[in-house]
A and B are shown apart, each in its own frame.
Chain A
Amino acid sequence: MMTTVQTASKKKGRKIGKSWTIHLFPIPALIIYGLFVLYPILAALSYSFYSFNGFSRESFVGFDNFVTLFTTEPYGSMFINAFKHNVLYFGLQMVAMNGLAFILAFIIYKKVKGAEFFKIAFFLPRLLSVIVVGFLWKLILNPNFGTLNILLGRLGLEELQRAWLGDPNTALVSIILVNCWFGLGFGVLIFLAGFQSIPGELIEAARLDGAKGMTMLRKIYLPLMVPSIMIMTVLTFIQSFEAFELVYAMQGSMGEPYYSTDTLAVFFYRLAFGSSTSGSSDALGVGSALAAVLFFFILICTMIFLKFTNKKEVEM
């Protein structure tokens, strides 16, 4: 290895400062990144083809784990249930978080007074640890002493008071909205950067042509904002399908109540590290199959999003 490296460096390396020691430079980063990112993800994919007994790998079983995941109960219905929640996670964040972030970024871009203050205000929650966010909102959403219900009571809206996290009908939506609260400011900054990169002459020209209001938005702003919209879509997508921490902090590893807040990553955690579903010895094999399915689902969807972005940019 070293000799090929050296000859190549003689051929292609720059004349000044040429020395074999330069090839040591990327080594520490490559080793740590290779050992703790590349190796585990590849190993996880290979694990999906093996049976497990606890944490020890037993024998090669082909696609058995995948078959078990999709056809055996409770795995099959848990997968569908969690998958639906991830889809809602993505959809609701696209509308409630990214939609609002887009509007707020536009308003700041239009130069309101105190733009810097608003940017900081929207961004501040993003500095908290997700676990702090989860616990803080768990206290705020508490049915008896939580701030939200008390505020609703003071406003005379008693009929709206409920056990936000205890009711299967509101628990998941509550958690997703908490996630929106957390991530909103980040979206605002991304969209604001997008608006600010639009050339001023373009807007002037459109305005001189008499474009205004909705026409301006449809014909000028939206097409030019496609790159930042796609960035936020991809990031939100990945984050939605990896959603774990907030659910775990607020509703535990069972996605209380009755798996109504379960997500694929929480389901995966349960298979790998604990509680009822992992009692059986094949849990880790099935868990690895789930990880593989989720990995390729995220990867393929991300590729499609990115491909779509490139095409859009070419069209413009």
Chain B
Amino acid sequence: MKNSSMWSKPFYYVIVFAVATISLYPIFLMFLSSFKTSAEIFKDPLGLPTKFTLDTYRTLMGKVPFDQYFMNSVIVSVTSVVLVVVFCSLAAYYIARFKFSWNNAIFFIFLLGMMIPIKLGIVPLFILMRDLGLINSLWSLIFMNIATGTPLTILILTGFFKTMPIELEEAARMDGAGNLRVLWSVLLPLMRPALGTVVIVNFISAWNDFFFPLIFITEKAKMTIPVGMLSLFGEHSADWGSLFAGLTLASLPMMILFFIASKQFMEGLTAGAVK
């Protein structure tokens, strides 16, 4: 073993450094280029900006209503996450804590959703949204985020509810607390790690969702950031400075959240797969 580690350690470092560079460089390039004018990018694509300027961001704001996209993304993501967590906590509590004969069937039906390629249902979905009057409404996106986030959220929360000692609840019930009260003030405060995981998983997919807004949203005023990017690239494809600025702004919120809670992010996104 000693022999092989002599040569293998430096070799290991070469590999991980090389791949880390490939992973990080494009993102670094995106940030860097967002501070360069288009002329500068074309003349010296790899160099540092000659002077620090936010002009590209100003141009971007003049071209597309980025603040509007941003607000729409925030509204959609936050509402979706809150509702999916509330609804799935209720459902998971029911599945995990009560022994009705149909509970396994309900659980199975929810889990089925993890294997359903929902994009293939887009035609009936489009007709449904049209009939509900939700085309060009942020609610179409919120409903889709809740519905597609439900299977994994229920899986994670049900698993967690099952690990909680039943005595906790029983004590509260002796004191006369009802189901909702037990769930809200006894169980949920103890479930912060699981709640953190499901909040992150659902937030990432809601924030980055592109497919459903592409189909359901055509009005500029209702676009979220990802579809807003599509119109930016469609209409202003020559001004690379502000394109990079747009990409950077689109990614920044998630990056900031990631650096605040990177551990939870990485655990959260792999939670469904490992379980």
Q: Chain A: residues with CB nearer than 8 A to chain B?
A: 8-9, 12-14, 16-17, 19, 21-23, 25-26, 28-30, 32-33, 35-41, 43-44, 47, 55, 100, 103-104, 107-108, 110, 112, 117-132, 135-140, 145-147, 150-151, 154, 181, 184-186, 189-190, 193, 207, 212-213, 231, 235, 238, 241-242, 244-245, 248-249, 265, 268-269, 272-273, 284, 287-288, 291, 294-295, 298-299, 302
Q: Is the interface of A mostly helix, strand, loop or mixed?
A: helix
Instruction: From the candidates A30, A39, A212, name the one contacting B106 in the complex (CB within 8 A).
Output: A30
Q: Which of B51-59, B60-68, B113-121, B190-198 contacts A (4 or more CB under 8 A)?
A: B113-121
CB–CB B23/A121 < 8 A: yes
29 contacts between A and B (CB under 8 A): A8-B101, A23-B94, A29-B150, A32-B147, A32-B150, A33-B113, A36-B144, A41-B118, A41-B120, A44-B122, A44-B123, A104-B16, A107-B12, A119-B266, A120-B262, A121-B23, A122-B19, A124-B255, A129-B207, A130-B208, A139-B240, A139-B244, A140-B26, A151-B46, A184-B19, A189-B269, A193-B270, A273-B215, A295-B117
A8 to B100, CA, bound (A): 7
CB–CB B143/A37 < 8 A: no
Residues of A within 8 A of B88 (CB): 29
Chain A CB within 8 A of B245 CB: no
Residues of B within 8 A of A44 (CB): 120-124
Write the nearest CB–CB distance from A89 to chain B, whole angstroms.
14
Write the nearest CB–CB distance from B134 to chain A, whole angstroms.
10
Residues of A within 8 A of B116 (CB): 37-38, 41
CB–CB B124/A121 < 8 A: no
CB–CB A41/B42 < 8 A: no
CB–CB A129/B119 < 8 A: no
**Interface flags, B114-156, vs A, CB<8A=1, else 0:** 0111111111111110100000000000011011101100100
Instruction: From the candidates A119, A127, A190, name the one contacting B251 in the complex (CB within 8 A).
Output: A127
CB–CB A40/B90 < 8 A: no
Chain A CB within 8 A of B50 CB: no
CB–CB A284/B179 < 8 A: no
Q: Chain B: residues with CB nearer than 8 A to chain A?
A: 1, 4, 9, 12-13, 15-16, 19-20, 22-24, 26-27, 29-30, 41-42, 45-46, 86-88, 90-91, 93-95, 97-101, 106, 109-110, 113, 115-128, 130, 143-144, 146-148, 150-151, 154, 169-170, 173-174, 178-179, 182, 204, 207-208, 210-211, 214-215, 225-227, 229-230, 233, 240, 243-244, 247, 250-251, 254-255, 258, 262, 265-266, 269-270, 273-274
CB–CB B119/A36 < 8 A: no
CB–CB B100/A35 < 8 A: no
CB–CB A112/B243 < 8 A: no
CB–CB A123/B95 < 8 A: no
Write the nearest CB–CB distance from B97 to chain A, whole angstroms.
8
Residues of A within 8 A of B182 (CB): 17
A190 to B143, CA, bound (A): 29
CB–CB A37/B113 < 8 A: yes
Give B209's nearest chain A residue, CB to CB: A129
A189 to B41, CA, bound (A): 35
Write the nearest CB–CB distance from B263 to chain A, whole angstroms.
9
A173 to B226, CA, bound (A): 24
CB–CB B240/A19 < 8 A: no
CB–CB A122/B20 < 8 A: yes
Residues of B within 8 A of A30 (CB): 91, 106
CB–CB A100/B19 < 8 A: yes
Q: Is the interface of B mostly helix, strand, loop or mixed?
A: helix
Instruction: From the candidates A13, A28, A150, A212, name the one contacting B46 in the complex (CB within 8 A).
Output: A150
Write the nearest CB–CB distance from B129 to chain A, whole angstroms.
9
Write the nearest CB–CB distance from A31 to chain B, whole angstroms.
9
Give B230's nearest chain A residue, CB to CB: A131
Instruction: From the candidates A33, A120, A122, A145, name the one contacting B150 in the complex (CB within 8 A).
Output: A33
Residues of B within 8 A of A138 (CB): 233
Residues of B within 8 A of A126 (CB): 269
CB–CB A268/B120 < 8 A: yes
CB–CB A294/B128 < 8 A: no
Residues of B within 8 A of A136 (CB): 26, 30, 247
Write the nearest CB–CB distance from B53 to chain A, whole angstroms.
19
A286 to B266, CA, bound (A): 41
Besides A35-B143, A129-B210, 19 other A-B contacts (C-beta < 8 A): A8-B101, A22-B94, A22-B98, A28-B90, A29-B87, A41-B118, A44-B121, A55-B126, A55-B127, A121-B20, A124-B23, A131-B208, A132-B247, A136-B26, A146-B45, A147-B45, A242-B119, A269-B122, A294-B120
CB–CB A125/B270 < 8 A: no
A100 to B18, CA, bound (A): 12
A298 to B119, CA, bound (A): 13
**A17, A38, A186: which has the most chain B beta carbons within 10 Å?**
A17
CB–CB B210/A131 < 8 A: yes
Pairs of residues from A and B, 6 with the lowest C-beta to C-beta distance, nearest first: A40-B121, A36-B147, A43-B124, A129-B208, A29-B91, A121-B20
CB–CB B120/A17 < 8 A: no
Residues of A within 8 A of B4 (CB): 212-213
**B27, B113, B240, B255: which has the most chain A beta carbons within 10 Å?**
B27
**B120, B146, B214, B230: which has the most chain A beta carbons within 10 Å?**
B120
Instruction: From the candidates A127, A185, A242, A249, name the one contacting B204 in the complex (CB within 8 A).
Output: A127
